[in-house]
Amino acid sequence: MQNIKNYIEQHKQRMLDELFELLRFPSVSADPKYKPDVLNTAAFVAKKLSDAGADNVEICQTAGYPVVYGEKIVDPARPTVLVYGHYDVQPPDPLELWHTPPFEPTVRNGKVFARGACDDKGQFYMHVKAFELMMQTDQLPCNIKFMIEGEEEVGSDNLGTFVKQNKDRLKADVILISDTAMISMEHPSLETGLRGLSYLEVEVTGPNRDLHSGVYGGAVANPATILAKLIASLHDDNNRIAIPGFYDDVIDLTDAERKAINNAPYDNNEYKADLGVDELWGEAGYSTFERTGTRPTLEVNGIWGGYIGEGAKTVLPSKASAKISMRLVPNQSSEVITKLFTDHFLKITPPFVKVKVTPHHGGEPVVTPTNSIAYQAAQKAIAESFGKEPIPTRGGGSIPIVALFEAELGIKTVLMGFGLDSDNLHSPNEKYDLFNYYKGIETIPLFYKHFTELSAK
Amino acid sequence: MQNIKNYIEQHKQRMLDELFELLRFPSVSADPKYKPDVLNTAAFVAKKLSDAGADNVEICQTAGYPVVYGEKIVDPARPTVLVYGHYDVQPPDPLELWHTPPFEPTVRNGKVFARGACDDKGQFYMHVKAFELMMQTDQLPCNIKFMIEGEEEVGSDNLGTFVKQNKDRLKADVILISDTAMISMEHPSLETGLRGLSYLEVEVTGPNRDLHSGVYGGAVANPATILAKLIASLHDDNNRIAIPGFYDDVIDLTDAERKAINNAPYDNNEYKADLGVDELWGEAGYSTFERTGTRPTLEVNGIWGGYIGEGAKTVLPSKASAKISMRLVPNQSSEVITKLFTDHFLKITPPFVKVKVTPHHGGEPVVTPTNSIAYQAAQKAIAESFGKEPIPTRGGGSIPIVALFEAELGIKTVLMGFGLDSDNLHSPNEKYDLFNYYKGIETIPLFYKHFTELSAK
């Protein structure tokens, strides 16, 4: 382990400079205007994989943004780890809330602030640097494959096809992903599950044009008012989702599972203080971290209609819209939920407006096994580098592709994330602690060591 | 009357060219970026008043946009008519829905399309041209004063002060306004009332930053969801406004009044077809035109929050806002209603969000007398030019300043409008029929004739 620490110490600055280079690309996959930047990011990642020592590096074209592939086969008889990550990032808006520009990484008290610092550039790049380290110090104990995509933030629409078409090339014993969080550096943890996702857009149309709210107010339905009523009806008084059948496939946790989650060293008061809210909100009967980790949710991600400019316009709008997404838990199906939502929303639409529901994207929930060799290797690696056994947790986020890997490739995943919930993922001022970055680079080679050793037994 | 028609016939094209000049100014008072254009519009109006023969023309500065004043005193012993209008217009957005540019007037099948074509440039300019006509044909029978303001679309914030400071200059026997609509040219009508207005903006704040909807979804209240619930609660199942005390000051119409309104030759099916809706909506127990003309309403004029750009962003927003306005009917007070709304909204705000309510502007409702000399003069003028008695109607719109004129100057108003509800006021493709424009110029001098004759009796 000493030679790992030494190598990181010697190359600390360069490893950071390279991350900065990566973070300067505004690789926003959701917005077409960033297309050239997203493509340049893919080229950069490919270059860095080659530099680190990967063979057969390829920028694999898809119907959307390319997947960057690279591999190092030390011995076909040895086990193989497939590293997954994504080089695309969320849109940076609202821009005005950033303290420093989202695509000009800045270090403030030991943290690098930039869009993608944690999600997922900072985290997948740890694997590139850990790979370099293992190559340079001649301690890569097994085979490694990289699959870094550019559409995770928009639903990985084309990765499924890529995986189907590259089953042989992607053959591996485990998929290793760092795109999740730990409770804290004092309380290292390993996520054992992810929520699925169903993301839709709804558009409510009232009159065929914007109207004078005085001349027509009271005579015709206001689509913004109706949209509000429709959205309001989607949660009941216990903040449960009021879509018939929504919970039918949810498997309730065992008392033991609930106990484990509630024993995790979380602090509701710190949590409230960090978010600046007086009270938390959520489904009655579940603790905060049961709700985020193990219960499905429905959130309005965006809403708009009518006049939203300066001053006052007395208009009765023609249309009002909302982006709505649901997080799903194990045994729920994105497709089923998308249909349930759509049917319900159309069903509750009153006759004086028209509604259009457009699915954006979805993903299936997953639970990762905690009894696998790979999971045990991750536990040992973290215990060794942090000096503490990791706590198993359930993550609230979604990496839709994980379920697909399992279905298509028959490979389980290990979620060895080094981020923090408070890293402002998808928010202004996204950050990643340099401590976590280097700690990740230090921990990853230990995973390879233990995984290879345990596999040999 | 023949000489009126002849004069209009001779100067038809010039009267239209001048209106086009006026319509080309993007005099949007709500948006500061149009300030120079608004000021240029005032200068143009002043010039045209002088050209038409007005004396003491002045661009009167206020704390906001100026009021253009002009007068012609033929004989202090004669009655005086004070003409009110406004040269500012509503914002043109949504721009993409205009078939031709909003500030490049275009004539299509006998209608001029432009922002302000009807509200109120096309309508107040009829008075300037009718004044010119009376001067040129030497038939101005009484004194006339013009007060054309530039802040009507943003609540006439500074006109109150101007009126207080100019009571002598504004002394008159009646205020004549063309800023309202007729049922149709086949069914000429005269509005006998206007609704008041209370316009506010609400902002709901949840977490102190936009959050990842997966990491935090289910743990903290979503301000867009809460705003939707708050807005949804503002109407009950009968579409009545659910703010305690909201209807306390509303005076119910007499059966005779309801009968008169419901006898007006409106057609619900044409109305629905024009708006492209299958069903109308509104307060239970009242007909469509009772609801728009005589009942108070609450409308969402704009709503926004979270990610409203292209594609999908899985964010749990920090803030969500709405612009909300209420139309008030006689005996309701804008100030009282604004307070009722604010108190109620704060009261129903749940503890897991914070709410800010900001009043924009307001205005009081009015009923104009139908037994006054001025009203009878308007009836006679319309009967003479249209060959039909006008039908008395109640308008749904608001001209907040009318109540103030009555309070400050002690003068009643006659609402002799020549627009149509279907003129797309405040909407894309606002229009004004050339027929109505010329018909107004023809009718106005007849008003002066009858008003002077009746006053002499």
Place of tokens 């299509």: B108
How close B52 comes to chain A (CA, Å)?
Answer: 32
Locate B412 and state its tokens. Answer: 């009643």
A311 and B398 within 8 Å at the Cβ level: the answer is: no
Q: DSSP label at B68?
A: E
Which chain A residues have a beta carbon less than 8 Å from that of B352?
A: 277-281
The angle subtended at Cα B51 by Cα B48 and Cα B53, nearest 5°, is: 115
Q: What is the pLDDT of residue B386?
A: 97
- The reported pLDDT for the residue numbered A93 is 87
Nearest residue, CB atoms, A306 vs list B32, B212, B302: B302
Structural domain that includes position A242 = 196-250+296-362
Q: Is residue B289 part of a domain?
A: no
Q: Is residue A282 part of a domain?
A: no
Query: Band of the pLDDT at A155, cuts 50, 70, 90?
Result: confident
Residue A421 has pLDDT above 90, yes or no: no
Our CA-based measurement puts residue A297 at a distance from the nearest CA of chain B, in whole angstroms, of 6
- Contact with chain A for residue B327, Cβ under 8 A: yes
Both B179 and B52 in one domain: the answer is yes
Q: Inspect the interface and report whether the beta carbons of A216 and B305 lie closer than 8 Å.
A: no
**Length of chain A in terms of residues written:** 457
**pLDDT exceeds cutoff 90 at A83:** yes
- How many pairs of residues across A and B have Cβ atoms under 8 Å apart? 375
Given an 8 Å threshold on Cβ–Cβ distance, is B212 in contact with A425?
A: yes
Whether B188 and B73 share a structural domain = yes
- Which tens digit of pLDDT belongs to each residue from A22-63? 999 999 999 999 999 999 999 999 999 999 999 999 999 999
Contact yes or no for B426 and A317 at CB 8 A: no
Q: Is residue A271 part of a domain?
A: no
Buried b (16+ CB within 10 A) or exposed e, A269-291: eebbeebebeebbbbeebbbbbb
Q: What integer best gives the mean pLDDT of chain A?
A: 95
Predicted pLDDT of residue A248: 97
Inspect the interface and report whether the beta carbons of B214 and A396 lie closer than 8 Å: yes
The DSSP code sequence of B241-302 is B-STTTTTTPPPPPHHHHHHHHHS---HHHHHHHHT-SS----TTS-HHHHHHHS-EEEEEE
Residue B266 lies in a domain: no
> Do B9 and B119 lie in a common domain?
yes
**Closest CB to A277 among B207, B288, B426:** B207
In a domain, B265, yes or no: no
Chain B partners within 8 Å of A277 (Cβ)? 206-208, 220-221, 352-353
Assign residue A190 the CATH number of its domain.
3.40.630.10
Same structural domain, B373 and B330: no
Query: Which residue on chain A is closest to B233 by alpha carbon?
Result: A229
Mutation to test the B interface, candidates A35, A183, A212, A329, most B Cβ within 10 Å: A212
Residues in chain A with CB shorter than 8 Å from the CB of B300 are: 222, 224-225, 228, 305-306, 317, 320
Q: What pLDDT score was predicted for residue B370?
A: 87
For A259, other C-beta atoms within 10 Å of its C-beta total 10
What residues of B are in contact with residue A276 (Cβ under 8 Å)?
207-208
Does residue B354 sit in the same domain as residue B376? no
Is the CB of B241 inside 8 Å of chain A's CB atoms?
no
pLDDT at B17: 98
Q: CATH no. for residue A346?
A: 3.30.70.360
Other CB atoms within 10 Å distance of the CB of residue B186: 9
Q: What is the mean pLDDT of each run of 10 residues along chain B (457 residues)?
A: 92 98 97 96 98 98 98 97 97 92 97 98 98 97 98 90 96 96 92 93 96 93 98 98 98 86 85 95 94 94 94 92 96 96 98 96 87 96 96 84 91 96 91 98 98 94
Q: Answer whether residue A441 shows pLDDT above 90.
A: yes
CA nearest to A307 within chain B: B302
Number of domains in chain B: 2
Cβ under 8 Å to B: A residues 356-375: 360-361
Query: Which candidate from A181, A292, A304 shows the least CB-CB separation from B218?
Result: A292
Q: Which of B31, B218, B229 sits opposite A232 (nearest CB)?
A: B229
pLDDT reported for residue A358: 97
Query: Distance (Å) from the C-alpha of residue B334 to the closest C-alpha of chain A?
Result: 15
Q: What is the pLDDT of residue B112?
A: 98
E strand intervals along B49-158: 55-60, 67-72, 80-86, 106-108, 111-113, 143-149
Q: Quote the pLDDT of residue B2.
A: 80
The pLDDT assigned to B354 comes to 98
- Asked if the structure places residue B284 within a domain, the reply is no
Phi-psi region of B110 (alpha: psi -120 to 50; beta: other; left: phi over 0): left
Q: Which pLDDT score is estimated for A90?
A: 93
Mark which residues 60-89 of A lie under 8 Å from B by CB.
none
**First-to-final CA distance of chain B:** 21
- Which residue from A229, A303, A312 is facing B304, i.e. has the nearest CB? A303
Domain C-terminal end among B315, B334, B362 = B362
Examine the fold and report which residue of A315, A335, A362 is the final residue of a domain before the chain moves on: A362
A111 and A10 both lie in a single domain: yes
Residues of B in contact with A402 (CB under 8 A): none
Distance from CA of B455 to the nearest CA of A (A): 33
Residues B339 and B382 in one domain: no
String of DSSP letters for A13-44: HHHHHHHHHHHTS--BTT-GGGHHHHHHHHHH
Does A397 map to a domain? yes
Looking at residue B440, its pLDDT comes to 98
How large is the average pLDDT for residues A123-152?
97
Q: What's the CA angle centered on A91, arms A89 and A96, to 5 degrees? A: 130
Quote the pTM value. 0.85
Q: Determine the pLDDT at residue B309.
A: 87
For residues B69 and B9, state if they share a domain.
yes
Give the DSSP letter string of A341-406.
HHHHHHHH--TTSEEEEEEEEEE--EE--SSSHHHHHHHHHHHHHHSSPPEEE--SS--THHHHHH
Give A87 to chain B, closest Cα distance, Å: 16
In angstroms, what separates the C-alpha of A331 from chain B's closest C-alpha? 17
Q: Looking at chain B, which residue has its C-alpha nearest residue A421?
A: B215
In chain A, % of residues over pLDDT 90: 83
User: A interface mutation test: which of B213, B229, B233, B415 has the most A CBs within 10 A?
Assistant: B213
Among B281, B295, B319, B338, pick the best mutation site for testing chain A contact (most A Cβ within 10 A).
B281
Query: For residue B128, is it within any domain?
Result: yes
CA angle A354, A356, A357 (to 5 degrees): 145
CA closest to B429 among chain A residues: A209
The amino acid sitting at B321 is S
Of A305, A327, A362, which residue constitutes the final position of a domain? A362
CB proximity list for B411: less than 8 A, separation 6 or greater: B82, B172, B173, B174, B175, B405
Residues of A in contact with B222 (CB under 8 A): 281, 299-300
Burial bucket for residue B231 (CB in 10 Å: 0-12, 13-18, 19+): buried
A391 at B interface, C-beta within 8 A: no
Taking CA atoms, A211 is separated from A208, B202, B258, B326, B339, in Å, by 9, 21, 25, 15, 26
Interface test with A, best of B119, B152, B212 (most A CBs within 10 A): B212
Chain B: nearest CA to A294, how far in angstroms?
10
User: What phi and psi values does residue A264 have, to the nearest 5 degrees?
Assistant: -60, 140
Give B127-164 pLDDT, tens digit per residue: 999 999 999 999 999 999 999 999 999 888 899 999 99
Neighboring chain B residues of A31 at a CB cutoff of 8 Å: 309-311
The whole-angstrom distance between B154's CA and the closest CA on chain A is 6
Same domain, residue pair A156 and A215? no
Please give the structure tokens belonging to residue A448: 């390879």
Are A50 and A165 members of one domain? yes
Predicted local confidence at residue B33, as pLDDT: 95
Tell me whether residues A311 and B154 touch, CB distance under 8 A. Answer: yes
CA B450: distance to chain centroid?
A: 27
**Nearest-Cα residue of chain B relative to residue A400:** B214
Best residue in B269, B303, B415 for a mutation probing chain A (most A CBs within 10 Å) = B303
Residue A371, class by beta-carbon neighbours within 10 Å (0-12 exposed, 13-18 middle, 19+ buried)? exposed
Residue linked to tokens 């209106």 = B19
B267 touches chain A (CB under 8 A): no
* Same domain (yes/no): B334, B372: no
A203 and chain B in contact, CB less than 8 A: no
Asked whether the beta carbons of residue B429 and residue A209 sit closer than 8 angstroms, the reply is: yes
DSSP state of A253: P
B274 → chain A, closest CA residue? A208
Option in B234, B277, B309 nearest A207 (CB):
B277
A10 and A130, same domain (yes or no): yes
